[in-house]
Amino acid sequence: MAADGPSIMLAAGEASGDLHGAALCQALRAEAPGCRLFGMGGERMAAAGMDLLVDVTAAAAAGGTEALNRIPLLYRAYRRLRGALAGARRPRVLVVIDFPEFNLRLARAACRAGVRVVYFIPPQVWVWRSWRVRTIRRVSSLVLAVFPFETALYRRAGVPVEFVGHPLLDALGSAPDRVAARRALGLDDRALVIGLLPGSRREETARVLPAMREAVTAIGRARRDARFVLALAPTVEPATVERGLGVGSPVAIAHGRSHAVMSAADLLLVASGTATLEAALLGTPMVVCYRVSRLTELMVRSLMRVPWISLPNLTLGRAVVPELYQAAATGERLGREALWLLDTPGALDTQRAAFRELRGQLGAPGVGARAARLVLAEAGVAS
């Protein structure tokens, strides 16, 4: 690579996007040490060498109506990035990472400014809002697909696409195994461990934590040997979780150690989201739950094209893990599903076998490096 690399803007708006954006930043630095990286992200992308113009990761919302009070913040972020796209040091390429409500608008602004757009981790148009593929075709120079079946979908729509694999394959490379995770969390290797992952957003945590708390009580009554550990996301205030669990809760809180909790657990109670795919790739069985506002539920149901909400079920195209959504996401139901999995011979192993199948579909490690080379090619830098 040349000593003076290209100027590249990146835009990620959530904790997961910040994680995957950081891996991409590191790979871009390795491939083109002189490149200038700047844009929107979080602490991880900043630590990976990106000049952070805007950070909205802590303000990510759980759903459509829940996002309304973030609009002023997001609009200010959009204006800042739009100005940078048209400025004297405009980038050669914009890489947008997930976060479609915001990033599709930013991609349009990039097109108007004559900046090429690469969409890394594109919207799940195969799940809902399928018409977005037309917008993506208009604004994207290249889509970097993370699921293999997305390649055919985008090619049929006339969108340039390359399958790079799912970035979680790289992110989980440093995750501890079961023994190391239990040692780090102070858990006996023989204990029955139930992990709680209530989400990385304040609203979703507030909505699912009461059901998880009730499920803990039900499981604890039936399995007095059970230990409970909650993985607290760095984007959620500890006080929110402590209040939700209540005084005298048997649940230990692990700060910023979600992968350790996933690896250590025999079973997870997890909010629908990226964590479900992480847990599946680590091979840990789970029960998935989720709650949003009634208005958001009505909107989502009108747009959904598939009957599942969790990424393991969506990726495999069948019901592998139990899903409890909205009114069904009660503490009683969550506890009952968990105990059924724990008490039914072969139930946990059935999930684990499906997770091995899932892992085989998502490509191979080295996703960041593959994505970086394609981004640099769009920026006109030859390897």
CATH of domain 185-361: 3.40.50.2000
HSE-up of residue 322 (Cα within 13 Å, Cβ side): 21
CA-closest candidate to residue 228, choices 176, 191, 263, 271:
191
Residue 327 has pLDDT above 90, yes or no: no
pTM of the model: 0.86
d(CA 164, CA 219): 41
Q: For residue range 151-167, what is the model confidence (pLDDT) as tens digits?
A: 999 999 999 999 999 99
Least confident of 138-147, 304-313, 333-342, 351-360: 304-313
- Residue 301's pLDDT is 57
Q: Is 95 helix (H, G, I), strand (E, B) or coil?
A: strand
Q: What mean pLDDT, rounded, does the chain reach?
A: 91
pLDDT at 293 over 80: no
Q: Are 365 and 169 in contact (CB under 8 A)?
A: yes
Q: Cα separation of 147 and 155, whole Å?
A: 14
Residue 326 and residue 306: Cα distance in Å, rounded?
Answer: 16
Report yes or no: 316 and 329 within 8 Å, Cβ to Cβ: no
Q: What is the pLDDT of residue 296?
A: 57
- Give the pLDDT score at 306: 62
- Are both 7-166+364-378 and 185-361 of the same fold? yes
Lowest-confidence pick of 90-94, 196-200, 300-304:
300-304
Residue with tokens 């803007």: 9
Q: Could you read off the pLDDT of 189-199 as tens digits, one per residue?
A: 999 999 999 99
Which of these, 325, 260, 281, lies nearest to 147 by C-alpha position? 281
Mean pLDDT of 111-127: 90
pLDDT at 317 over 60: yes
Domain ranges of the chain: 7-166+364-378, 185-361
Structure tokens that stand for 9 in this block? 């803007």
CA–CA distance, 226 with 344 (Å, rounded to integer): 16
Closest to 172 in 3D by CA, of 367, 374, 328, 331? 367
pLDDT of residue 292: 72
How far is the C-alpha of 67 from the C-alpha of 296, rounded, in Å? 10
- Residue ranges of alpha helices (H) inside the chain are 15-31, 43-47, 71-85, 100-112, 132-139, 148-156, 168-171, 178-185, 202-222, 238-245, 258-264, 274-282, 294-303, 311-316, 331-343, 347-361, 367-378
**Which CATH architecture is the domain 7-166+364-378 placed in?**
3-Layer(aba) Sandwich (3.40)
Q: Alpha helix locations (H) across 202-310?
A: 202-222, 238-245, 258-264, 274-282, 294-303
Q: Is the pLDDT of residue 63 over 50?
A: no
pLDDT at 124 over 90: no
Ramachandran angles phi, psi of 183, nearest 5°: -65, -45
The pair phi, psi for residue 242, each rounded to 5°, is -60, -40
Positive or negative: CA dihedral 357, 170, 285, 153: negative
pLDDT band at 5 (very low <50, low <70, confident <90, very high): confident
| pLDDT for res 60 | 57
- For position 109, what pLDDT does the model report? 97
Q: In whole angstroms, give the CA distance from residue 202 to residue 347.
A: 32
Is 179 within 8 Å of 251 (Cβ atoms)? no
Distance CA 49, CA 135 (A): 31
pLDDT number for residue 370: 98
**87-116 as b/e: b if 16+ CB within 10 A:** eeebbbbbbbbbbbebbbbbbebbbebebb
* pLDDT reading at 3 higher than 50: no
- Judged against a pLDDT cut of 70, whether residue 268 lies above it is answered with yes
Residue 74 Cα distances to 45, 77, 79, 217, angstroms? 18, 5, 9, 39
- The pLDDT value given to residue 241: 95
pLDDT exceeds 80 at position 298: no
State percent of the chain over pLDDT 90.
Answer: 78
More confident residue, 65 or 139: 139
Average pLDDT of the residues in 2-21: 86
What tokens does 197 get?
């992952």
